Structures are given as structure tokens and as C-alpha cells.
Amino acid sequence: MTQPGFSWRQSLQALLVVAAAGLAPLVANAAGPLDCRAVHLVAPNPPGGATDVLSRIIGDPLSRRLGVPVIVDNKGGASTSIGNEFVAHSAPDGCTLLMGNISMALNKSLMKLNYEVERDLRAVIQVAAVPLALFVNPKVDVKTVPELVAYAKAHPAEVNFSSAGPGTPTHLVVEMLNEREGTKIVHVPYRGAGPATMDVIGGLIMSSSDSLIVVLPHIRSGALRALAVSGPRRSMLMPEVPTFAEAGIGFADISLWYGVMAPSKAPDAVVQYLNKEIAEVLRQPDTMRRLQDLGSDLPPDGTPQQFQTLLHNETARLGDLIRKANITLD
């Protein structure tokens, strides 16, 4: 019941003023050309993998900058193609984004797709570049890549190697190792890097490779033994571990890159706005520290053009490696 002299209309107006005041910070932050109740950032891998981890690292601070929730949606399967296709066919309003990764550059040469990456998706910004670590369960009696090769040759078809799934970078590594060294390491595909790595830790699988983002804590704890890392130089986080080239497998020098993408018809204004906001997130000291602690190098240039060029060049380079090694998914 309203007080004397205070009508129900005045009560309603007062409530609306209070509600508007509560929403003011959200509305004030929701600048720019986005018109979203929430931004859905699709991670095309299961939870626990590097793509998922990176999505969550940037998701919270990006939500605060955009003024709307940033929801990480895991849509794994088919070497990221399920999640990639979902975003490629989404509304081009910037409300559905993809945390793309190097698998996009492999898929074109390995499988029939219902989308074309460079036609149906456009780059927003690269967010990370991370070495790939080759590792074994510590109970496996090998400490170097040559020892792994020798062990595999002495025990044909007894050594197994898990991957994040057919057509993923980790699959490419074992197939190229077999093709080059004449080994018969058995490929065991999983639905995502997280489960593939956990079964090496558990002793069900002998060896694998994965992003340093995922495996670094397990290597430091002694749950995994690193044999080599990809990239042009040793990781500052594990300077005692040789590079792939130093270990004799430079042919598989694959550094894992990750970046945000949007449907190809997303307006330039939306892409540039998202690029600016994500770049600000990447420059925040806490974000930089978290990425560096996971072994990631900050990309040299944060423009959409740089990431689009990287995707184009890697698709050509990795496609050539796949053809030379005669790798198929059959």
C-alpha cells in the first residue's frame, strides 16, 4: 500500500529509476556495434584442452569489457570441424565467435567439409602461439626421441600414441614419425586432447603430444616426461628439453596457434571492434602473465590481416606436408 500523497504511478517510476541505475554499468560498457544479450565463444574441442583453456582465460575479462556475458561453448568432434562449421553457418552479428586453432589448416587436406574456412570464416585476432610437446608416461624407459624410435623398432606395433583425434596436429606428428623412421607406433585417436593426455598419465597409453598449455603442469609434477618441443627455439619454461629439430624430427615442426574468428559476413565494424577489445584483454598484465606461464608467445601483430595471412600460409604448408607423407584418415 502506498503512503499518502505517493501514487502508484510514482511508485512505479521510482522502481524503474532504481532498476535503470542497477543496469547502468552494463549499458555503459556495452558500447560499439554489437547487439548481443551474450557472446558465445565456441571452443571446437572438448573441455580440458588448450582451446578450452584459452577461451576461458580471455572470456571473463572480455565479458567485463563488452558488458555482456561471454559464454564458452564446447562443440568438439571431427578434428574441430563440428564447432568450426557451427560458427561458419551462424548469424554474422559478432554474437557467435570461434576460438580457432591450427586444425583448421589441416582439415582441408584431410577430409570433406561442409564449409570452407577461408570463405566462410574471417579472422578477428590471433591470441596465442604455443609449442607442441612430445611426451611419454614416465614409466616408459625412454628419455629422448631417438630412444623412443629405437624402442618402437625393437617392439613393433607395441608402442602406442594417443592423439586428439584423426586429422589433428598430434595425429600428424605420429604418422610423420612412422613414415620417416619406419616405426609402427600405433595411433589411438581420442575425442579431444584432454582425454588423450590423461590416459598417458594414467598409463593406459605410452606416448602422445599436446599443447604445452595443457601438459606443462603434468610435466612439472613428474606425471609426464617431455622428450621434445616444437618451435624455432627451446621453451623458456623447459630449457632442458630439446626442440623437435634438435631431436631429429624437425620435419614435424608444428607450433600450435589459436585465434578468434567470426562468420565471414560479419561487418568490418564488428570485426574491428572485437579486435580492439580482445587486444586490450591480451595486453592486461594478468592475461599476459597467465599466457606466458602456459608457454604462449604473444603474436607479433594483433591485426585481423596478420591472422588471416597465417591461416592461409599454414593451410598451404601443412597441406604440402600431409601430401608428402601420404597421410590419410582411412
Tell whether 34 is covered by a domain: no
For residue 317, give the CATH number of its domain. Answer: 3.40.190.150
Does residue 307 sit in the same domain as residue 212? no
pLDDT of residue 252: 62
Domain residues for the domain of 196 are 132-252
Could you tell me if residue 94 is inside a domain? yes
> 227 and 241: one domain?
yes
Residue 222 pLDDT: 97
Q: What is the pLDDT of residues 123-152, one digit of tens each?
A: 999 999 888 999 999 999 999 999 999 999
Based on the fold, state whether residues 109 and 150 are members of the same structural domain.
no
What pLDDT is stored for residue 16 in this prediction? 44
- The last residue of one of the domains, among 237, 252, 267, is 252
Residues of the chain with pLDDT under 70: 1-31, 251-253, 299-300, 330
3-state secondary structure the chain: CCCCCCCHHHHHHHHHHHHHHHHHHHHHHCCCCCCCCCEEEEECCCCCCHHHHHHHHHHHHHHHHHCCCEEEEECCCCCCHHHHHHHHCCCCCCCEEEEEECHHHHHHHHCCCCCCHHHHEEEEEEEEEECEEEEECCCCCCCCHHHHHHHHHHCCCCCEEEECCCCCHHHHHHHHHHHHHCCCCEEEECCCHHHHHHHHHCCCCCEEEEEHHHHHHHHHHCCCEEEEECCCCCCCCCCCCCECCCCCCHHHCCCEEEEEEEECCCCHHHHHHHHHHHHHHHHCHHHHHHHHHCCCECCCCCCHHHHHHHHHHHHHHHHHHHHHCCCCCC
- Inter-residue contact 104 to 166 (CB < 8 Å): no
Look up the pTM and report it.
Answer: 0.79
Q: Of 213, 235, 252, which residue constitutes the final position of a domain? A: 252
Domain boundary among 236, 252, 268: 252
Are 140 and 204 within one domain?
yes
For residue 169, being part of any structural domain is answered with: yes
Total of domains in the chain: 2
Q: Quick one: 215 and 266 in the same domain?
A: no
Is residue 8 in some structural domain? Answer: no
Tell me the pairing of strands 96-101 and 39-43: parallel
Residue 215 lies in a domain: yes
